[in-house]
Every structure is written in structure tokens, then in C-alpha cells.
Amino acid sequence: MGRAWMPLYVGDYLRDTRDLNTLQHGAYLLLIMHYWQHDALPTDDARLAAITGLSVAQWRRIREPVQAKFAEGWKHKRIEAELAKLDRAVMQRRLAGRNGGIRSGIARAVAQGEAIIRAQAEGKRALARNASGREARAQAAEQQPRTNHNQRFDSSSSADSLNHEIAKSKVAHPKPANQWSRQELDALFARRAVTKVPVHRPDAPSPTPSNPEDGD
């Protein structure tokens, strides 16, 4: 497991390593850095020598004071404590991230649920508005006056009479009827009212001719 950095408490380090010479300092620092990155150290001299960059013979000459800084099996108490602290911090960050993700997911789900509820409510309101509009139009249609068929017949009869009068007046007015002025149409109606011919009904009694002798 690779780790980009390791804590080094300089005061504690110098206090604990006053008995080491320069070569031993170098070997010790390389060993604890390997420990930090890999969680442990090998126990055979060949591999330990390779970590320190020394030959096996050189390593064996300086090994005793360096090994005294470790517990049995090349365990290091201070590094183990720092690794445990780091693992706890990593776990806490992961839990915080997961909890944050859960909270974010819950917030998104709540927002989506609220949006669905709002959309459903708006749809119901739109349906209610449409239903009210249809009822209002139906009531307005029921309140409209019924068509007077007799009036429509009378209007048609008036139009037919007007066309008849216009046809009879073509001699006096050779131009088409749609080109007549308002004054000409009014004059035509006035003449029609004056010269109106009474309608003869078949069931009416015929007038009795006057006899000159009735005067006697």
C-alpha cells in the first residue's frame, strides 16, 4: 500500500536515535519509510540489506543498534500507531462521503417526489378548469334565443318581394340591382307601399254587381 507522505516528529526522532552514527541513521530512515509504505519489514538479512542499499556484510556490521529500535519481528510501535491513526482518518472520510452521498440521494428523491406531486396537482387543476369552461359554454349555448322560423320566412318573403319589385323596375332602371344606391332602393320601397295590390282570396264572396233598378 503506497502512501505519499509519513509523519516524522523530529524532536522525538533525534531523542530516540542519539546512539546511531550517520550510516546507521540512513539505514534506519530507509527501513521506517519502507515500513510506512508496506505496513511491515522483512526479517531476513538479504532483503533488509537491499532496502538499506548495503551489502549483506555491511548490513550485518551495523544491524544491531538499528534493530534495537524495533520490536520483535521488526515491528515498530510508533509507526504502527501512526498507521492506525491514518486508517481511522481514511475510514472517517469514507463514511462521511458515503453519508453525504446518502443524504444527497435522499434530497434528490424528495425533490423528485415533490416535483411529481406538483405536476399531478397542476394537472388536476387544469382538468378542473377545462371542465368549468365546458360547463360555462354549455350554459351560454342554452341561454341563446331560439331561432324564429316565422321571422326567417318573413325575411325571405321580403327579399323575394324586393327582388320582384326590382325585376319589374328593370325597364326604368337598366343597371344591375347590386349597383343601386340607397336612395333608389328607398324610393322603390315607397312606391311599392303606395301601389300595393290587394290579394284576392278564393273563399271570399264575390262582390254583387250593382243593379240600376235597385234604386227604385
pLDDT tens digits, 120-152: 888 888 888 887 777 777 777 777 655 554 444
Q: What is the pTM of this model?
A: 0.45
Task: State which of 31, 47, 75 marks the end of a domain.
Answer: 75
Q: In whole angstroms, what is the distance from residue 200 CA to residue 207 CA?
A: 12
Q: Which is higher by pLDDT, 53 or 211?
A: 53
Q: In whole angstroms, what is the distance from residue 193 CA to residue 198 CA?
A: 11
Q: In whole angstroms, what is the distance from residue 79 CA to residue 176 CA?
A: 119
The answer as to whether 50 is a domain residue is: yes
CA 51 to chain centre: 61
The answer as to whether 46 is a domain residue is: yes
Task: State which of 30, 54, 75 marks the end of a domain.
Answer: 75
The answer as to whether 123 is a domain residue is: no
Tell me, what's the pLDDT at 98?
76
The answer as to whether 201 is a domain residue is: no
Residue numbers of the domain that contains 185: 150-194
Task: State which of 37, 55, 75 marks the end of a domain.
Answer: 75
pLDDT tens digits, 177-193: 666 677 777 777 777 66
Tell me, what's the pLDDT at 29?
97
The answer as to whether 180 is a domain residue is: yes
The answer as to whether 216 is a domain residue is: no
DSSP β-bridge partners for residue 34: none
Mean pLDDT of 66-95: 90
Number of structural domains in the chain: 2
Number of Cβ within a 10 Å radius of residue 24: 19
Among the ranges given (62-71, 93-102, 110-119, 195-204), the one the predictor scored with the smallest mean pLDDT: 195-204
Q: In whole angstroms, what is the distance from residue 98 CA to residue 92 CA?
A: 10
Q: Supply the DSSP symbol for 214.
A: G
The answer as to whether 199 is a domain residue is: no
The answer as to whether 206 is a domain residue is: no
